[in-house]
Amino acid sequence: MPAAIRRERTDDDVRRDRQALSTERLREPFQVLYQVRWRGAVPERDDIDTALGRIAAELAAHRDLLVAVVMSPDTALETAAELTGRRQQEPADQWMALCWLAEAAWEAVTGPPGGGRSPQAVSPEDRRLLYPLAARLRFLALSEPFRDRGLPERTALRRSAFGSTYRGSPVDRLYGEGSWNVLVDHARQARADWLACLDAYQSHPYLAQAPAAALEEELSLLVFTRGRGSAPLSLTGRDPDLPAVLGAGDVTFIGDVVERHLLPRFDLPSVAVLGWRAHPGPASHRRRRCTFLIGALMIAIPPVAIFASLWWATGLAAVAYGLLGLGVVAFGGTWAALWMLRLPAASSIGLLVLLTLPEHWWQSARPGWGVAVLAPVVLAVAAFGYLLLEARNHGIGRRATAVRALAVTGVGAVHAFAVALIGLVAVAPAFTAKGRELGRLLTGTQDGRHLLVLAMATAWCLAVGVFSQILWDDRPISAPLAHTDWRSAA
Predicted pLDDT of residue 40: 47
Going by pLDDT thresholds of 50, 70 and 90, the confidence category of residue 490 is very low
Give residue-wise pLDDT tens across range 431-465. 888 888 888 888 876 678 888 899 999 999 999 99
Q: Considering only 341-345, 352-356, 429-433, which range has the smallest mean pLDDT?
A: 429-433
Q: Work out the percent of the chain whose per-residue pLDDT is above 90.
A: 41
Q: How many domains does the chain have?
A: 2
Residue 259 lies in a domain: no
Question: Is residue 165's pLDDT more than 90?
Answer: no
Question: Is residue 107's pLDDT more than 90?
Answer: yes
Residue 217 lies in a domain: no
| Same domain as 331, residue 189 | no
Question: Is residue 253's pLDDT more than 90?
Answer: yes
Question: Is residue 120's pLDDT more than 80?
Answer: no
This prediction has a pTM of: 0.87
| Same domain as 297, residue 205 | no
SS3 per residue for the chain: CHHHHHHCCCHHHHHHHHHHHCCHHHHHHHHHHHHHHCHHHCCCHHHHHHHHHHHHHHHHHCHHHHHHHHHCHHHHHHHHHHHCCCCCCCHHHHHHHHHHHHHHHHHHHHCCCCCCCCCCCCCHHHHHHHHHHHHHHHHHHHHHHHHCCCCCCCCHHHCCCCCCCCCCCHHHHECECCCHHHHHHHHHHHHHHHHHHHHCHHHCHHHHCCCHHHHHHHHHHHHECCCCCCCECCCCCCCCCCCCCCCHHHHHHHHHHHHHHHCCCCCHHHHHHHHHHCCCCHHHHHHHHHHHHHHHHHHHHHHHHHHCCHHHHHHHHHHHHHHHHHHHHHHCHHHHHHHCCHHHHHHHHHHHHHHHCCCHHHHCCCCCCCHHHHHHHHHHHHHHHHHHHHHHHCCCCHHHHHHHHHHHHHHHHHHHHHHHHHHHHHHHHHHCCCHHHHHHHHHCCCCCHHHHHHHHHHHHHHHHHHHHHHHCCCCCCCCCCCCCCCCCCC
Predicted pLDDT of residue 443: 80
Last residue of a domain, one of 181, 210, 239: 210
Going by pLDDT thresholds of 50, 70 and 90, the confidence category of residue 94 is confident
Residue 297 lies in a domain: yes
Question: Is residue 2's pLDDT more than 60?
Answer: no
Last residue of a domain, one of 153, 184, 210: 210
Q: Work out the percent of the chain whose per-residue pLDDT is above 70.
A: 84
Predicted pLDDT of residue 377: 93
Give residue-wise pLDDT tens across range 294-336. 999 999 999 999 988 899 999 999 999 999 999 999 988 889 9
| Same domain as 318, residue 194 | no
Question: Is residue 232's pLDDT more than 60?
Answer: yes
Residue 438 lies in a domain: yes
Predicted pLDDT of residue 320: 97
Q: Average pLDDT of the chain?
A: 84
Residue 249 lies in a domain: no
Give residue-wise pLDDT tens across range 270-303. 999 998 887 766 777 888 899 999 999 999 999 9
| Same domain as 308, residue 183 | no
Residue 236 lies in a domain: no
**The domain containing residue 65 runs over which residues?**
3-210
Question: Is residue 365's pLDDT more than 50?
Answer: yes
Predicted pLDDT of residue 161: 44
Question: Is residue 163's pLDDT more than 50?
Answer: no
Residue 262 lies in a domain: no
Residue 117 lies in a domain: yes
